[in-house]
């Protein structure tokens, strides 16, 4: 996954279609979680990135178990002293991801880690992460990792 701040207006995919880069879906974003994580880490230390966005990245990637997205976003907006719409616009311009996409990616990574390091059930993990819709979580997890959480649990030692 290539994310950059100098995004072209259009990109081509393997089928020769032309589409706007901004039309990237959540499922496309989570396909390569490690690239997303590496990208976020480089943005945290890049002095060219707006300082408010670096602070927001720190807050959004902090392990806020069980806090809802709206609670975390209210806190982030208060800390960076920006309106919601201005923040979303600047965040997307600086990172190539929306705050919602980043938050979901972080939750999926935490879920995978909890599956491998605890004996919590999938239901308990979703509750720990503050996820209310189990089927939506399972679909997102499958899109990101190519298997269900239960399959991951059985596969890991």
pLDDT tens-place string over residues 40-77:
777 778 888 889 999 998 888 877 666 788 888 999 99
Q: Which residues contact 156 (CB under 8 A, 6 or more apart)?
A: 115, 116
Q: What is the pLDDT of residue 23?
A: 41
Q: What is the pLDDT of residue 68?
A: 81
Assigned domain for 5 exists: no
Assigned domain for 1 exists: no
Distance between CA atoms of residues 114 and 129, nearest Å: 10
Q: What is the pLDDT of residue 130?
A: 86
Assigned domain for 4 exists: no
In the predicted structure, residue 6 carries a pLDDT above the cut 90? no
Assigned domain for 120 exists: yes
**Bridge partner list, 19:** 11
In the predicted structure, residue 137 carries a pLDDT above the cut 90? yes
Assigned domain for 2 exists: no
> Average pLDDT, whole number, for the chain?
78
- Which CATH number characterizes residue 108's domain? 1.10.10.60
Helix (H) or strand (E) holding 78: helix 69-80
In the predicted structure, residue 78 carries a pLDDT above the cut 70? yes
Per-residue pLDDT, averaged over 71-85, amounts to: 93
pLDDT tens-place string over residues 7-41:
433 333 344 333 334 445 555 655 566 667 677 77
Q: How many domains does the chain have?
A: 1
């Amino acid at each position: 996954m290539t994310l950059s701040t100098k995004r072209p207006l259009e990109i081509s995919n393997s089928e020769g279609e032309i589409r706007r880069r901004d039309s990237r879906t959540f499922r496309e974003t989570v396909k390569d979680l490690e690239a997303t994580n590496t990208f976020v880490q480089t943005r945290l230390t890049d002095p060219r990135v707006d300082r408010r966005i670096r602070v927001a990245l720190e807050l959004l990637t902090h392990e806020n178990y069980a806090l809802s997205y709206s609670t975390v976003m209210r806190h982030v907006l208060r800390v960076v002293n920006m309106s919601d719409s201005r923040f979303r616009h600047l965040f997307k311009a600086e990172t190539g991801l929306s705050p919602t996409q980043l938050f979901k990616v972080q939750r999926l990574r935490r879920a995978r880690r909890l599956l491998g390091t605890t004996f919590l059930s999938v239901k308990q993990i979703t509750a720990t992460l503050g996820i209310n819709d189990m089927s939506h979580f399972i679909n997102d997890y499958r899109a990101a990792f190519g298997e269900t959480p239960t399959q991951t649990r059985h596969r890991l030692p």
